Structure 1
Amino acid sequence: MAVGDFNAVSIGECRDIYAVDVGMYDLANHASVYVLDAPKPTIVEAGTGANAERVVHALTELGIAAEDVANIVLTHVHLDHAGGAAFLSRVCSNADVYVHEHGVPHLQDPDFLVERTKRLVGEEGWNRYYVQPGSIDAHRIRPLADGDVIDLGDRALRVRHAPGHAGHQVLLHSPSDDAVFTGDALGIYVPETDSIRPISPPPAFDAEQALADIETIRDLEPSTLLFSHFGAAPTGDRLDRAAEAIVEWVSTVQDARETAEADGAVVATFVDAVEGPDRWSNIVAETDTAMNVRGVLQYLDRQGGELPVGIARRE
């Protein structure tokens, strides 16, 4: 897909689901926002907000009036998923905004998330790829908890809490489509290489819980995975590969820490070794890598510096 394109998801049992490439970080094939053309039209995810007009364009091309959108559903409130929610809620003036109950305060007052994001991506990254998110009035927000159901008219999205990436993350299971919107629970899917890269942001990344979240998806037995980063893919062996990637990543950071003089040197080691795909700019690749290393280091600190048995690298 090219930036701004949207395609129907034609995998498995999926119907009337469209993936919009919003061009996050000026990259194609990195971030999806999904439009479900249902009796109660629904948007899943909102992107950073910098390119939210591409979602509105997709609605127009699909013949969905913005005022008819009933639901804007966020898998979590990190700003690459929720930064555009206030903009979309203004354009889609009749839509309810759904987010896990732990994320509700951040939609009403995003300042904490803005400052944390700036610390992670730096001022240059913020100015280049983000916009200041607005706040959303409390009466527009619908808090979610595990087991809740969102009615779309011809189908339902069933909510499962998946806090391994962040305490405010949920999975969205559509039994009618035999599909799960995965948020960041499985990491980043790179369709060009059919590979999965774990995401381990501070401060809440929990490797054991992340593996448990993968098992939550496995128990749902979906035939299709709808990644926020990026696109749709058959389930196949991708749950196994996502779990293996988490274990390998955490173990690799732990190994590096054992030989480094300080945690700053651990971060520098991985940043200096970045050799991402050509489509990644240095600013994205390096800030992304540093963030993920710091998330693992903080996780290890909470474990007393030792890897739990379930996270030890499998020989």
Structure 2
Amino acid sequence: MSGNSGIVTIDTGFQRPAFDAAYLLVENGRGAFIDCGTQHSIPAMLAALEGQGLTPSDVDWLILTHVHLDHAGGAGALMRELPNATLAVHPRGAPHMIDPTRLVAGATAVYGEEEIARSYGDIVPVAAARVRVLADGDVIELAGRALLCIDTPGHARHHLCVWDERSRSWFTGDTFGLSYREFDNALGAPFVIPTTSPVQFEPEPLKASIRRMLAKMPDAMHLTHYGRVGDVARLAGDLIAQIDAMVALARAADGHDDRHARLVAALTDLYVERAQAHGAPLAAAEVARLLEIDIELNAQGLEVWLDRDTA
């Protein structure tokens, strides 16, 4: 548990250790999950409850930052284990939780059927009566603990972030980028990169969402990929600078027959250079290996944005 704030980081086990997090908030004997991983993550979610002396009936909320499957693929199956919980989700995400057909089809188009089955398992619907749609500025109460939910487009149009005044921190999903612990430097300072995965990346809304969160002067951010990070103002500046750099690289690659390969190479060079300047204790090849999936998805997302922006 994080300090006295009642926050538990849960490794969902997706892809590799310390890659994909969900969170459990505990307040006065009641619980709320923020994000949930995939169907394969359910044992870890229930174990986290047990570790805090809670049962599944003590959970009031499952809050989804957005409905990409690494964050929300297990929501329907987990809700079956939580008899008193309400699923809270962005208005654009709610229909996909009630009927995940299009969500699964979209993810299958990106990853393929075999990968969907291997990584995500069964994706089952949530009864509409158990879903609360969250408007920008809505507040969820967890046993008297206020959780402010705001609309944060840029990574996805169905993305929200959650402000917890008690810990003075945000639960950021993917809006505040990716920060893996292997990249922390000798002083323990985190390294961060944006995530522009397909299909709804929008650079200006993403920068605006980062600035909106920064206005709260938070002590920390709780990222899905991965865990709690401080040094928030520096990381926000790094993210905004990189978004601009990534957009410039995408525009430079546009119009070439080998656009995708050029963009993957350019993004790899960008992240390696920045990681080494940060003092990450990794060789260039290891930086590229650890970020390989993210680089591929970032390139795809930038290309979808390019094609939409120039259409």
Q: TM-score, structure 1 length as denominator?
A: 0.85
**Structure 1 residues 1-315: aligned runs within 5 Å:** 8-10=1-3, 15-25=5-15, 27-39=16-28, 40-193=30-183, 194-234=190-230, 235-257=232-254, 260-266=256-262, 269=265, 275=285, 277=287, 280=290, 285-286=292-293, 288-304=294-310
Deviations 1:227-281 (A, max 9, x none): 11110011241111121222222222222235x225455467569989554874x
Equivalent residue letter for 1:92: L
Gaps of 5+ in 1: 1-7, 306-315
Would you say the 8 A contact 1:205–1:295 is kept in 2?
Answer: yes
Cα RMSD for the two superposed structures: 2.3
Would you say the 8 A contact 1:50–1:130 is kept in 2?
Answer: yes
In the alignment, the residues of structure 2 paired with residue 245 and residue 56 of structure 1 have an alpha-carbon distance, to the nearest angstrom, of 37
After TM superposition, the structure 1 stretch with the greater mean CA deviation from structure 2, 34-43 or 135-144, is 34-43
In the alignment, the residues of structure 1 paired with residue 23 and residue 264 of structure 2 have an alpha-carbon distance, to the nearest angstrom, of 36
Would you say the 8 A contact 1:96–1:142 is kept in 2?
Answer: yes
Deviations 1:38-92 (A, max 9, x none): 1331110011222221010111111111111001100011111111111211111
1:24 is paired with a residue whose SS is coil
In the alignment, the residues of structure 2 paired with residue 66 and residue 112 of structure 1 have an alpha-carbon distance, to the nearest angstrom, of 29
After TM superposition, the structure 1 stretch with the greater mean CA deviation from structure 2, 110-119 or 132-141, is 110-119
Would you say the 8 A contact 1:270–1:289 is kept in 2?
Answer: no
Deviations 1:93-147 (A, max 9, x none): 1100000111111001111111211221233422321112110000000000101
> What does residue 5 of structure 1 align with?
none
**Inter-CA distance 275–136: structure 2 relative to 1 (3 Å threshold):** farther
Q: TM-score, structure 2 length as denominator?
A: 0.86
Would you say the 8 A contact 1:84–1:133 is kept in 2?
Answer: yes
2:132 is paired with a residue whose SS is strand
% of aligned pairs identical?
A: 30
1:41 is paired with a residue whose SS is strand
In the alignment, the residues of structure 2 paired with residue 143 and residue 48 of structure 1 have an alpha-carbon distance, to the nearest angstrom, of 21
| Consecutive aligned runs of 4 or more in structure 1 exceeding 3 Å deviation | 262-280
Equivalent residue letter for 1:31: D
Length, aligned pairs only: 289
Shift, 1:202, TM fit: 2.2
Gaps of 5+ in 2: 184-189, 270-283
Equivalent residue letter for 1:52: I
Would you say the 8 A contact 2:100–2:123 is kept in 1?
Answer: yes
In the alignment, the residues of structure 2 paired with residue 278 and residue 304 of structure 1 have an alpha-carbon distance, to the nearest angstrom, of 30
Would you say the 8 A contact 1:257–1:266 is kept in 2?
Answer: no
In the alignment, the residues of structure 2 paired with residue 75 and residue 261 of structure 1 have an alpha-carbon distance, to the nearest angstrom, of 36
> What does residue 4 of structure 1 align with?
none
In the alignment, the residues of structure 1 paired with residue 36 and residue 134 of structure 2 have an alpha-carbon distance, to the nearest angstrom, of 17
In the alignment, the residues of structure 1 paired with residue 254 and residue 178 of structure 2 have an alpha-carbon distance, to the nearest angstrom, of 24
Equivalent residue letter for 1:90: R
In the alignment, the residues of structure 2 paired with residue 249 and residue 278 of structure 1 have an alpha-carbon distance, to the nearest angstrom, of 16
